Amino acid sequence: SGGLALKDLHRKTGIPKASLLRILRTLEEKGMIWQRMADGAYVPSFSLSELAGRLDREA
């Protein structure tokens, strides 16, 4: 569970799919997300989850 497919991210954000795909590829290259092979969903990596937790604690 967890993660969202490109079509779901597009529907939730309204960002054009081509732009969204470029953003997702960049995040993937930086190790912030990964794409699950089974269903194509994009999932936050541990490093992104850890960063979000740190930012939440600092707020």
Q: What is the pLDDT of residues 10-47, one digit of tens each?
A: 999 999 999 999 999 999 999 999 999 999 999 998 87
C-alpha–C-alpha distance, residues 1 and 51, integer Å: 21
Q: The whole model's pTM is what? A: 0.76
Amino acid at 48: L
C-alpha–C-alpha distance, residues 35 and 37, integer Å: 6
Give the model's confidence band at 1: pLDDT under 50 very low, under 70 low, under 90 confident, else very high.
low
Domain parsing of the chain, residue ranges: 6-58
Using DSSP's 3-state secondary structure scheme, residue 54 falls into helix
Which residues, other chains included, contact 34 with Cβ-Cβ below 8 Å and sequence gap of 6+?
A: 28, 42, 43, 45
**What is the pLDDT, as a whole number, of residue 51?**
67
